[in-house]
Homo-oligomer: A and B are copies of this chain.
């Protein structure tokens, strides 16, 4: 193979795709592991669907995907032949593949079917700083239960999952509402057209960001934003805009309990039959959360919660980090949403024509990892390096290799330096690897049946000035010479 000339490829990641290692990767894997343990304890089974789905099975439910056929990575399946075939696309979430799987396997599944899933999803969007086109999501869903207790279970489990991942009680909150409240409002106001209702819902979904002044423009003719982009509005009648305003403002009092919020919302105006049903479902969710002893402050009802996705049909949830973090200029910012979900009773029916009720929750794994770093919990994922055995002479390889094998057999992470650099560079290497200790078996040590151990943890502590007194130094000498037989026990003393 040619290794010269101008035809060498450039070593770079595709735009919007990142490599992960070290503390960040360790954090994401720990989150997935700990959340999975919670989900399994709640009776949810793991399911892994493939990266690709046929494009028609995937559907087009990405929010704000203005361009038709865009937003996903798609290609035509030639199935190893020269004939282009059906379009396939990489999954953009875990919900659409679940709906396909449930429709395909419905007859043979235990019902209701509870499953969790994690793994990468792909979105073909314009990449930018902090904006990736591949990221991990972790989902849990119950398919085949129309009971509000199924929603309550998802909400309570999401709370427990976030805590298992490292968020303290009080650092996150799940805000809950119900899409049917808006169905009732629109029914009562005579707004029947599905597209108009969806445009209105997406406008209301921006309440957090735009406030009522922005939302009311989007509920009316439209809105010109600061960058000069114009977004067409839902053109709701003035009476309906008024009803929406009263509805959104109804529970705008800090500290309301869930029951108080339901009372306030019920008094806000005519919510129609759908709205009444929604209030009953929310009341049942409230009772179920109490029966499961979920911290009352961890889940609130909030009529401003909508969720942008088209397919939600009932309860909707959004998990928000309450912690205030600082931006680049030190100003406090709210971290915002770290996940969400809701009830989607029509997604399986896309395939089968038969309605199958379903509800679920999804969170972004990288986003939760960032939230945990913002919450000051990043240290939990610091990566500890292996013990490094130093190499001096080719002739003594067997001594080094048996030492390193002995450490591993004792369950201690250890490696032999296998480059060609000298002692000084090897010590620097050990330090960069975060090694707790370096093991030195020079010719003298080997001849005397001894080993020298450098305590690099102690060295780092001394350098950081946290161990600047004599007693500590006496207890943790930087370097000791010991009989070779004491290697494992001496390393254990440093590590434990």
Contacts and interface: CB of A to CB of B under 8 A. Distances in A.
23 contacts: A1-B311, A1-B346, A1-B350, A3-B350, A8-B350, A9-B59, A10-B54, A22-B45, A25-B47, A25-B48, A43-B385, A43-B433, A51-B120, A51-B122, A52-B73, A75-B75, A110-B432, A146-B420, A287-B398, A291-B397, A291-B398, A292-B401, A293-B402
Interface in A22-71: 22, 25-26, 29, 40-43, 45-54, 56-57, 59, 70
A397 B25 contact: no
A383 interface: yes
A412 B43 CA distance: 10
Given A145-B419, A149-B418, 13 more contacts: A10-B54, A10-B351, A15-B77, A17-B50, A19-B49, A21-B47, A40-B413, A42-B386, A43-B386, A43-B415, A287-B398, A290-B398, A291-B397
A142 interface: yes
A57 B12 contact: yes
A67 to B, nearest CB: 8
Contacts of A124: 78, 80
Interface stretch (A99-107, A327-335, A448-456, A483-491): A99-107
A144 B419 CA distance: 7
A145 B420 CA distance: 8
Most buried by B among A8, A18, A152, A388: A8
Contacts of A59: 9
A414 interface: yes
Contact of A41 (B70, B355, B413, B420): B413
Interface string A2-17: 0110001111111111
Interface in A448-471: none
Contact of A18 (B50, B100, B105): B50
Contacts of A284: 397
B401 A42 contact: no
Nearest to A409: B293
B11 A104 contact: yes
A143 B432 CA distance: 16
Contacts of A103: 11
A82 to B, nearest CB: 8
Contacts of A75: 73-75
Contacts of A115: 21
A1 to B, nearest CB: 6
Contacts of A4: 353
A219 to B, nearest CB: 22
Contact of A126 (B20, B79, B105, B311): B79
A295 B14 CA distance: 44
A429 B113 CA distance: 10
B42 A415 contact: yes
A411 B40 CA distance: 10
B401 A291 contact: yes
A413 B42 CA distance: 6
B104 A134 contact: no
A231 interface: no
A114 interface: yes
Interface in A347-392: 349-353, 355, 383, 385-386, 388
A9 B56 contact: yes
Most buried by B among A101, A115, A411, A418: A418
Contact of A3 (B11, B353, B411): B353
Most buried by B among A20, A144, A291: A291
A65 to B, nearest CB: 11
